[in-house]
């Protein structure tokens, strides 16, 4: 499939070339761009509809809150229990370890994967953060530190809780990936990205304990199969859009440079006309996370964590410093808190900042997924919230998406 794609691009390059290199002749005809679908994104599972404060009936076109996650169905989650301790994801082509076992260190996880012959297979690996995030379902629900419904399908996967008998919180059952943050969190911590399937977030976690320097331990769920999952294949269409041939999604190349609350973000996406297309939408959390580039960060590349084919507005952080990049809204409600309907998930392409002991720092890593209140008085934000003093902007940015083949 990769050879076919390369041949396609070669033919396009030859046919588009000219002596004068005029821009018009170098623009790729998107009708000839064929998705490879090597990176199929599983739907979030969300079927309910929400305002900024309540569950609501399904909105109609032109109604407030139309265009959120449940409006658009993508690849319905589908798993097969292989009855040998493994689960196959029928959408992604990935096979997963059903039971993670005990918490282990980051180094021990690679050793475990290399030694495993689970299900008769010897090609297990520690999943990347994109592979791991493919399992998240936003039908989960949490209230602060208390679990209600897991953010993973427990009909197929074993998901532990934190051990409250030893002082852990219920949400202290994070699953780590193989993806190490290229920057540092908490000023100096080496950091590993993980997904918390108890509270529905991506965060960067310290690889070592701050006090002793000993290795931290977390859960790991091994994976095998589809080694191309999570690898983007981006094409600049030359018309303000970027196609990802791996996922079959087309993206708005540049954000519009303005923060919006959630309802405004939905309205903007539904009414966007770009490149003669009118079927743009606000991406769900899993779609938006698919274009994070975890090899980049403001600390290491002086850029957001996204391929430079995209254009991203630079913003000023709450301390008045340049070099920060916006949080971007998704259409996915994140069920957490006293009012579980009041927040929606965002992806941080800039630093996941928080204020600790009066100092603003990167506490979660560029590429984290958190959530913000859907609405609020713009004049009172940003604010700081939670044990890491997470920055809440509320008026976040938008990068719209559509399907290439529609």
Q: With a cut of 70, say whether residue 146 has pLDDT above it.
A: yes
Q: With a cut of 90, say whether residue 186 has pLDDT above it.
A: yes
Mean pLDDT of 156-164: 97
3-state secondary structure 251-305: EECECCCCCECHHHHHHHHHHCCECCECCCECCCHHHHHCCECCCCCHHHHCCCC
Looking at the DSSP assignment, which residues form a beta bridge with residue 209?
Answer: none
pLDDT category, 34, cuts 50, 70, 90?
Answer: confident
Q: pLDDT digits over 267-288, tens only?
A: 999 999 999 999 999 999 999 9
φ/ψ (deg, to 5) at 142: -145, 155
Q: With a cut of 90, say whether residue 236 has pLDDT above it.
A: yes
Could you identify the residue written with the tokens 């265009």? Answer: 67
Q: With a cut of 50, say whether residue 14 has pLDDT above it.
A: no
Q: pLDDT digits over 50-89, tens only?
A: 999 999 999 999 999 999 999 999 999 999 999 999 999 9
- What pLDDT score does 16 carry? 39
Mean pLDDT of 354-383: 97
- What pLDDT score does 35 carry? 85
Report the run of H or E that residue 114 belongs to, with start and end.
helix 106-115
Cβ proximity of 175 and 115 under 8 Å: no
Strands of 171-239, DSSP E: 175-180, 191-196, 201-206, 217-218, 223-224, 234-236
- What pLDDT score does 347 carry? 98
pLDDT category, 2, cuts 50, 70, 90?
Answer: very low
Extract the tokens encoding 333.
Answer: 């409600």
- Of 25 and 88, the structure prediction assigns the larger pLDDT to 88
- What pLDDT score does 406 carry? 74
User: Which residue ranges make up each domain of the chain?
Assistant: 2-32, 49-76+232-403, 79-224
CA distance 49 to 46: 8
pTM greater than 0.85 (yes/no) = yes
- Which of the residue ranges 15-24, 52-61, 297-306 would you say has the lowest mean pLDDT? 15-24
- Rg from Cα positions in the chain: 21
Cβ proximity of 274 and 400 under 8 Å: yes
- Of 4 and 249, the structure prediction assigns the larger pLDDT to 249
- What pLDDT score does 21 carry? 40
Determine how many CB atoms are found less than 10 A away from the CB of residue 105.
17
Q: pLDDT digits over 205-229, tens only?
A: 999 998 899 999 999 999 999 999 9
φ/ψ (deg, to 5) at 280: -75, 155
Extract the tokens encoding 275.
Answer: 């490149």
Mean pLDDT of 109-120: 98
Could you identify the residue written with the tokens 């379902």? Answer: 137
Cis, peptide link before residue 382, omega less than 30° from 0 = yes
Task: Quote the percentage of the chain above a pLDDT of 90.
Answer: 90
Average pLDDT of every residue of the chain: 93
CA distance 102 to 62: 50
CA distance 193 to 234: 23
φ/ψ (deg, to 5) at 127: -70, 150
- What pLDDT score does 30 carry? 55
Determine how many CB atoms are found less than 10 A away from the CB of residue 234.
17
DSSP 94-109: -EEES---S-EEHHHH
């Amino acid at each position: 499939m990769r050879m076919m794609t390369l041949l396609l691009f070669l033919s396009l390059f030859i046919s588009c070339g000219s002596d004068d290199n005029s821009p018009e002749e170098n623009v790729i005809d998107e009708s000839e761009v064929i998705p490879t679908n090597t990176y199929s994104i599983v739907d979030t599972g969300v079927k309910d509809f929400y305002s900024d404060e309540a569950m609501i009936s399904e909105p109609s076109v032109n109604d407030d809150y139309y265009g959120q996650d449940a409006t658009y169905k993508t690849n319905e989650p589908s798993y097969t229990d292989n009855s040998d301790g493994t689960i196959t994801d029928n959408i992604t082509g990935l096979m997963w370890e059903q039971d993670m076992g005990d918490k282990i260190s980051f180094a021990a996880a690679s050793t475990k994967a290399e030694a495993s012959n689970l299900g008769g297979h010897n090609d297990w690996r520690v999943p990347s953060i994109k592979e791991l995030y493919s399992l998240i379902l936003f039908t989960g629900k949490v209230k602060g530190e208390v679990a209600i419904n897991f953010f993973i399908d427990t009909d197929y996967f074993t998901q532990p809780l934190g051990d409250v008998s030893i002082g852990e919180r219920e949400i202290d059952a994070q699953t780590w990936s193989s993806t190490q943050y290229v920057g540092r969190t908490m000023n100096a911590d080496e950091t590993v990205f993980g997904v918390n399937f108890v509270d529905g977030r991506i965060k960067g976690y310290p690889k070592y304990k701050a006090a002793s320097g000993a290795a931290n331990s977390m859960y790991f769920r091994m994976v095998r199969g589809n080694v191309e999952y999570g690898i983007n294949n981006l094409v600049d269409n030359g018309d303000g859009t970027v196609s990802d041939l791996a996922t079959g999604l087309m993206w708005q190349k540049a954000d519009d440079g303005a923060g919006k609350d959630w309802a405004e973000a939905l309205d903007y996406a539904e009414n966007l006309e770009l490149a003669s297309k009118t079927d743009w939408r606000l991406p769900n959390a899993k779609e938006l996370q698919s274009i994070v580039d975890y090899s980049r960060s403001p600390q290491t590349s002086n850029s957001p964590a996204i391929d430079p084919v995209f254009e991203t507005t630079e913003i000023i952080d709450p301390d008045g410093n340049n070099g920060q990049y916006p949080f971007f809204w998704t259409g996915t409600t994140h069920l957490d808190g006293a009012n579980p309907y009041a927040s929606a998930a965002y992806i941080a392409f800039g630093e996941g900042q928080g204020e600790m002991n009066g100092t603003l720092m990167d506490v979660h890593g560029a590429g984290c997924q958190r959530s913000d209140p859907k609405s609020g008085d713009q004049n009172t934000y940003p604010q700081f919230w939670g044990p890491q003093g997470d920055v809440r902007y509320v008026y976040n940015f938008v990068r719209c998406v559509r399907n290439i083949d529609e």
